C-alpha cells in the first residue's frame, strides 16, 4: 500500500480551496458503542475534521490523517478513527464548517435489523409455496414451481434422445431458490446451510431471540432453524435410493424475469455426483446435531441420509458433475474439481456427529488446508470444526487446524492493516461474488477471535461488515433496503417480476470484480450491460442494474455469511460468548 507524503498534501491543501467536501464512507447501519469505528474520507484534504453530536456540540477533533492510496480503486483516502466516542447517539462530521454527509449512528442493536433481514430473505426465496402479506408484506406472491413432479434428467424423450422413452418423476418440493434464478442447487445449499447453522451452534441464545416473522410450523424451533428446515426438507428429496444425491432441480435453460407462477417450463432433477453427495453429507450431518435436541427422529433421518451419501461418494469418487450440453443453468463445478475438499468437510461433520473411526481416518489421510471457504472449496469450513473441537478431534488434529486458521487470519489482518480502506481482502477475492468473500473473510477473523480472544481479529471482522454496509468507494450499502443508499435494481427475478418498486429487502448483491461476464464487450449481446468496468479497478467494477448478473445478482451463499457476520458481531457486542464459553480458552 502507498502512503502519500502527508507534508505535500497538507501544503497543497493550505493553498488549494477545497472544491468539494468528500462524503465519508461509513458503515451506514452504524456501530455498537464498544466497537471499533473507522471512517474513510476520500481525498487528501489537509484540514482537520470535527465530530459533532446532533445538537451541534463538538465531541471530537480529528487531525488531518495520512493520505493512503487504495490499489483496488486507485483512490487517495484518509482514515479516521472515532472509536473513543461510545455514547449512543447520532454524530456528524464537519470540515471547515462544512457538513460532510452520512450521519453516524452509535447504538446498542446496530446490526439486529440487518441480521434479521438477511435471514428473513431466505423465506422470500421459498419455492413451492405462496408468500402471504402478513409475512411478505408488499412482496407477497403466489406459489410457483411446486416441484412435486420433477422429471429425472435423462429419462424423458427430450433428454434421453429416445422418442419412446417413459419419463421418470420424483417429488422434490420446497427448498430455496438459489439466487436471482429459480434453480435449486445442492452444492450451494451445502455451504449455505452450514454457515447459517454455525450461527446457532456458536450463539444459540442470541438466535433463540432472533424473530424473523415467518410461518412457524414446528412449535419448538427458533425461527432461524424453522427457516433452514424448509431447505433441509428439500435436500432430503434429492437423495436417490442408492444414496447418491442429484446436483440440482432447474429448467434446462434460465427462464425470463417473471414471477415463479409464470415460470412454467419443465424442471429436471439433474445427475447424481460426488460433490453434491458430499456437500449433502456434511450439511446434514451438522444439521442432525443441531436439530437433535428439538426433533430426534428428524435428526436421525438426516444422519442416516448423510452416511448413505458418504458411502455413495466413497464408491464414486470420480463422479464429478459434468454439465450436459442441453443444460444451461448454473453448473456449480469449477476447473480442477477433485472433491478432496468436500471429502474433508463431510468427514469432519460426520465424525463430529457419529465419532466413527472411519471419518477420523479420512481426516488423517486427507488433511485439510486453509483454502476457501466458497462453494468450490470447503476446506475452511472443515478447519472451523476441527480447530474449535479439540475435545472431539484430539489436540494434534485440532492444533494443526488452529494453526492453519490463525495463519490465514493473520494474512487477512496484514492485508487490512495496510489497505487504504482497511479491508481484509486478498487480491484473488475480487471475483464473482466478491462481497461474499468479504463476509467469509470476516468469519475467518471471528474464528481467530474465538480461539485467541485477540480483539484485533474482532476489529478485522468489523471492518468487513463496514465495507459491505457502506465503507466502500460507492458510499453505498450493498444490502437492499438498508443504508442511506442501497441497490435498487438487483438481478433477482422476483424483484423484477413483481412490479414493486422496492427490491425484496435484505439481499447482499454479488459486488464488484473485473470478470466482465455480463458486459456487451463486442456490441453483439444487447441483453448484456454497458461497460461498467472501464476503470479496470476491481473495487469500482459494479453496476446497480438487473443486466449485471455478475456483480448485482443475489445468492443464498452470499446472504448466509452476511447474516452470520452481522449476527455474530451483534451477539458479541450484546455480551454473548462463543458457544457459551464451552471448549475454548
The CA-to-CA distance between both ends of the chain, in Å, stands at: 35
In sequence order, the β-bridge partners of residue 131 are: 141
Catalytic residues: 181, 491, 544, 553
* 380 contacts 372 by C-beta, under 8 angstroms: yes
Helix then strand count (H, E) for the chain reads 18, 14
Q: At a CB cut-off of 8 Å and minimum separation 6, what does 572 contact?
A: 458
Which cell numbers in the block locate residue 400? 494443526
Q: Is 515 in the site for ligand G3I (CB under 6 A)?
A: yes
Q: Is 433 in the site for ligand G3I (CB under 6 A)?
A: yes
Options 7-15, 21-29, 159-167, 179-187: segment touching ligand 9MR (CB under 6 A): 179-187
Q: Is 475 in the site for ligand G3I (CB under 6 A)?
A: no
Options 180-188, 192-200, 223-231, 462-470: segment touching ligand G3I (CB under 6 A): 180-188
**Smallest distance, Å, CB 406 to ligand 9MR?**
35
Q: Is 254 in the site for ligand 9MR (CB under 6 A)?
A: yes
- Nearest partner of 442 among 425, 418, 464, 467, judged by Cα: 464
Question: Which residue, chain included where needed, has cell 466413497?
Answer: 314
- Nearest partner of 482 among 507, 510, 511, judged by Cα: 507
Q: Is 20 in the site for ligand 9MR (CB under 6 A)?
A: no
Looking at the Cβ atoms of 256 and 317, the one nearer to ligand 9MR is 256
Region 529-558 residues binding ligand G3I, contact defined as CB under 6 A: 549, 553, 555
What are the helix (H) ranges across 453-548?
Answer: 455-468, 493-497
Q: Is 549 in the site for ligand 9MR (CB under 6 A)?
A: yes
From the list ligand 9MR, ligand G3I, none, which binds 563 (C-beta under 5 to 8 Å, kind-based)? none
Dihedral of the CA atoms 351, 352, 356, 362 (nearest 10)? 20
Looking at the Cβ atoms of 260 and 376, the one nearer to ligand G3I is 376
According to CB under 6 A, which one of 22, 150, 179, 469 is a site residue for ligand 9MR? 179
**Smallest distance, Å, CB 441 to ligand 9MR?**
22
Q: Is 181 in the site for ligand G3I (CB under 6 A)?
A: yes
Q: Is 494 in the site for ligand G3I (CB under 6 A)?
A: no
Q: At a CB cut-off of 8 Å and minimum separation 6, what does 429 contact?
A: 437, 438, 441
Site string for ligand 9MR, 180-219 (x = CB under 6 A): xx--------------------------------------
According to CB under 6 A, which one of 15, 20, 428, 527 is a site residue for ligand 9MR? 527
What percent of the chain is helix, strand and coil (3-state, nearest 5)?
40, 15, 45
Give, in degrees to the nearest 5, the angle at Cα 225 between 224 and 229: 120
373 upstream amide cis, omega within 30 of 0: yes
From the list ligand 9MR, ligand G3I, none, which binds 76 (C-beta under 5 to 8 Å, kind-based)? none
Q: Which chain residues interact with ligand G3I by CB under 6 A?
A: 178-181, 183, 330, 332, 334, 376, 431-433, 515, 517, 549, 553, 555
Amino acid at each position: 500500500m502507498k502512503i502519500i507524503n502527508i507534508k505535500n498534501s497538507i501544503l497543497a491543501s493550505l493553498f488549494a480551496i477545497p472544491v468539494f467536501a468528500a462524503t465519508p464512507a461509513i458503515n451506514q447501519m452504524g456501530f455498537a458503542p464498544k466497537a471499533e469505528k473507522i471512517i474513510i474520507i476520500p481525498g487528501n484534504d489537509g484540514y482537520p475534521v470535527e465530530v459533532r453530536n446532533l445538537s451541534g456540540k463538538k465531541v471530537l477533533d480529528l487531525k488531518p490523517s495520512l493520505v493512503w492510496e487504495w490499489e483496488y480503486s486507485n483512490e487517495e483516502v484518509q482514515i479516521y478513527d472515532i472509536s473513543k466516542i461510545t455514547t449512543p447517539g447520532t454524530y456528524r462530521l464537519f470540515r471547515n464548517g462544512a457538513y460532510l454527509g452520512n450521519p453516524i449512528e452509535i447504538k446498542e442493536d446496530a446490526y439486529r435489523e440487518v441480521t434479521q433481514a438477511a435471514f428473513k430473505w431466505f423465506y422470500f426465496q421459498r419455492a413451492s409455496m405462496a408468500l402471504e402479506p402478513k409475512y411478505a408484506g408488499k412482496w407477497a406472491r403466489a406459489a410457483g414451481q411446486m416441484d412435486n413432479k420433477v422429471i429425472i434428467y435423462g429419462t424423458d424423450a427430450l433428454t434421453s434422445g429416445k422418442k419412446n422413452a417413459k419419463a421418470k418423476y420424483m417429488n422434490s418440493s420446497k427448498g430455496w431458490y438459489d439466487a436471482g434464478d429459480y434453480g435449486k442447487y445442492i452444492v450451494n445449499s451445502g455451504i449455505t446451510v452450514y454457515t447459517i447453522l454455525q450461527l446457532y451452534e456458536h450463539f444459540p441464545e442470541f438466535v433463540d431471540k432472533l424473530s424473523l416473522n415467518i410461518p412457524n410450523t414446528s412449535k419448538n424451533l427458533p425461527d432461524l432453524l424453522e427457516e433452514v428446515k424448509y431447505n433441509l426438507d428439500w435436500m432430503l428429496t434429492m437423495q436417490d435410493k442408492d444414496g447418491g444425491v442429484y446436483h440440482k432441480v432447474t429448467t434446462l435453460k434460465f427462464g425470463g424475469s417473471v414471477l415463479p407462477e409464470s415460470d412454467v417450463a419443465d424442471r429436471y432433477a439433474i445427475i447424481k455426483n460426488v460433490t453434491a453427495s458430499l456437500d449433502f453429507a456434511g450439511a446434514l450431518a451438522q444439521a442432525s446435531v443441531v436439530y437433535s435436541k428439538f426433533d430426534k427422529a428428524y435428526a436421525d433421518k438426516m444422519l442416516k441420509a448423510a452416511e448413505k451419501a458418504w458411502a455413495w461418494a466413497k464408491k464414486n469418487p470420480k463422479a464429478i458433475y459434468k454439465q450436459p450440453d442441453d443444460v444451461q443453468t448454473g453448473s456449480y463445478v469449477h476447473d480442477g474439481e477433485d472433491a478432496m475438499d468436500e471429502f474433508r468437510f463431510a468427514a469432519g461433520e460426520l465424525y463430529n456427529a457419529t465419532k466413527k473411526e472411519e471419518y477420523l481416518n479420512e481426516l488423517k489421510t486427507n488433511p485439510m488446508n486453509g483454502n476457501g471457504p466458497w462453494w468450490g472449496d470447503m476446506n475452511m469450513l472443515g478447519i472451523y470444526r476441527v480447530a474449535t473441537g479439540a475435545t472431539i478431534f484430539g489436540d494434534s488434529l485440532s492444533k494443526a487446524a488452529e494453526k492453519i486458521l490463525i495463519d490465514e487470519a493473520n494474512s487477512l489482518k496484514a492485508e487490512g492493516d495496510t489497505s487504504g480502506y482497511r479491508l481484509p481482502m486478498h487480491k484473488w477475492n475480487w471475483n464473482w461474488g466478491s462481497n461474499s468473500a468479504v463476509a467469509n473473510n470476516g468469519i475467518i477473523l471471528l474464528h481467530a477471535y474465538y480461539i485467541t480472544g485477540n480483539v484485533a481479529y474482532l476489529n478485522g471482522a468489523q471492518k468487513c461488515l463496514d465495507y459491505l454496509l457502506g465503507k466502500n468507494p460507492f458510499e453505498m450499502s450493498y444490502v437492499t433496503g438498508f443504508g442511506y443508499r442501497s441497490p435498487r435494481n438487483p438481478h433477482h427475478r422476483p424483484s423484477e417480476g413483481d412490479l414493486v418498486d422496492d427490491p425484496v429487502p435484505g439481499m447482499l448483491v454479488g459486488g464488484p470484480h473485473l470478470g466482465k461476464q455480463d458486459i456487451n464487450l463486442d456490441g453483439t449481446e444487447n441483453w448484456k450491460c454497458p461497460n461498467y468496468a472501464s476503470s479496470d479497478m476491481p473495487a469500482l467494477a459494479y453496476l446497480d442494474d438487473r443486466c449485471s448478473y455478475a456483480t448485482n445478482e443475489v445468492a443464498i451463499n452470499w446472504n448466509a455469511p452476511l447474516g452470520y457476520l452481522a449476527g455474530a458481531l451483534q451477539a458479541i457486542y450484546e455480551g454473548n460468548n462463543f458457544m457459551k464459553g464451552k471448549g475454548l480458552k
